[in-house]
């Protein structure tokens, strides 16, 4: 299973991408995360459905007190892209 998501809120300059990578490694999630010019953070992640849900829930609730997610645009896909690791772009 694969998820593509864009996170809105206070998500840049607060450790969001590195928190995402840390959680991804913990949950065996593969893919990538990057900052967008409009202040959002975009990610694509794949793994088991259970672990992907845990991953998105953790990111949505803020991995540290500085992160404040206000909205997530998310699409789910059945197929995987074949990522071998989780990277910060």
Helix/strand/coil percentages in the chain, nearest 5:
25, 40, 35
Out of 2, 10, 17, 89, which one is annotated catalytic?
A: 17
- Cα separation, 63 vs 86, in Å, equals 17
Helix crossing, 16-27 with 49-60: angle to 10°? 150
- Is there a catalytic annotation at residue 89? no
- Is there a catalytic annotation at residue 51? no
Out of 10, 30, 35, 36, which one is annotated catalytic?
A: 35
Q: Which residues are catalytic?
A: 17, 35
């Amino acid at each position: 299973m694969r998820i593509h998501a864009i996170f809105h809120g206070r998500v840049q300059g607060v450790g969001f991408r590195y928190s995402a990578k840390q959680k991804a490694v913990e949950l065996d999630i593969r893919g990538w995360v990057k900052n967008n010019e409009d202040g959002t953070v975009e990610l694509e992640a794949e793994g088991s459905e259970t672990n992907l849900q845990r991953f998105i829930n953790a990111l949505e609730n803020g991995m540290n007190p500085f992160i404040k997610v206000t909205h997530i645009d998310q699409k789910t896909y059945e197929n995987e892209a074949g990522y071998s690791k989780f990277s910060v772009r």
